[in-house]
Chains A and B, each alone.
Chain A
Amino acid sequence: MAQLSTKIKMYCTANGVASVDFQKDVMLQDDGQGAYIKEWNLGIAKPTDEQLASYDADADKQEQNNQVVATRVSLYGTPAEQLEILVEQGLDKLIERNDKIKADNPKA
């Protein structure tokens, strides 16, 4: 099940709001039974549960892909580590290495 925050971001994007500040625009709270919208301060209508549920699958996919990207970034290493590979083993070797990391960690 996707995070409520992800579904809200998708709902906002679909309704013309490019970014959401969860410290001002929308305040979420979770008292132990799952997150809910505590405050809605955006100009667009607060989404219904049904509207949010409609984004569940896409939000799940986006979160999985975010995790994949995070894993790739971790495996690529720091810029310094990649620069060292570039200098010591050449550009082709670096591209080959990073392509393999990408292939091993495909997006959904």
Chain B
Amino acid sequence: MSTLKVDTILKRTGTGTITLGQSGDTISVPTGASLSLQGGSNGQALTTNGSGTLSFATVGGDAGTEAFSVKLTGNDNNITDASWYKITFNNEVFDTGSNFNTSNGRYTVPSAGKYFFGTAVYVWGGNNFNNCATRLYKNGSSQGDTGNYFTYSDGNHFSEWYQEASQILDLAQNDYIEVYQRVDFASGTAQVDAVSRFFGFKLA
């Protein structure tokens, strides 16, 4: 075995490709030695394009870095009968990316990807409810399959409603998500209790 001791390896003429080894060879960097590659930025990793080209890239994107949880400062008694009523969550528990707007109860997606959203809503009033449902809205439109409807078919009424709804959504940048609640009350009023929550995070 011979040892080649040099400070710099350059292509013989001009620029181009320098090949190390051949098929079946192993090129190793021993323990204690370090391999210094230029380019990339802090936290990035070497990735392959599948065709033999390596480059630095952010692995995993910002998955798991975007998260929020919001609630109400007090009970909301402005809910209107038989309407899909937007709950304006106005109190942040945390909002890592500052993407939740407490003035309009809206979470705006900072980057495209798959997001998990959940909500837990507690509504109460007199013994006067005959329909209740909770839904997530995307860009002002109901994501119907997140809704949950509860109805007494025998005409009786109920006075409290606690519902959780959740969904994973594939979203584009600047899409926005809101929570809407519906209560049909035969008389009196209804309130969205302050314990209600809305939360979410980026999956991928």
Interface residues of A (CB under 8 A from B): 3-6, 22-23, 27-32, 34-35, 38, 63, 66-67, 69-70, 74
Contacts and interface: CB of A to CB of B under 8 A. Distances in A.
A66 B189 CA distance: 11
B84 A27 contact: yes
A32 B86 contact: yes
Given A22-B184, A70-B188, A74-B127, A38 B84 contact: yes
Interface in B78-118: 78-86, 88, 104-105
Interface of B: 78-86, 88, 104-105, 126-128, 131, 180, 184, 186-188
B82 A70 contact: no
Contacts of A66: 186-188
B188 A34 contact: no
Contact of A32 (B81, B82, B104, B188): B104
25 contacts: A3-B82, A4-B80, A5-B82, A6-B81, A28-B80, A28-B82, A28-B83, A29-B83, A29-B84, A30-B79, A30-B86, A31-B86, A32-B78, A32-B86, A32-B105, A34-B80, A35-B81, A35-B85, A38-B84, A63-B187, A66-B186, A66-B188, A67-B187, A70-B128, A70-B188
Given A4-B83, A35-B85, A74-B127, 13 more contacts: A3-B81, A3-B82, A5-B83, A22-B82, A27-B84, A29-B85, A32-B78, A32-B104, A35-B80, A66-B186, A67-B187, A67-B188, A70-B188
Given A5-B81, A5-B82, A5-B83, A70 B186 contact: yes
Contacts of B180: 29
Contacts of B84: 27-30, 38
Contacts of A67: 187-188
A32 B184 CA distance: 17
Contacts of A70: 126-128, 186-188
Contacts of A69: 187
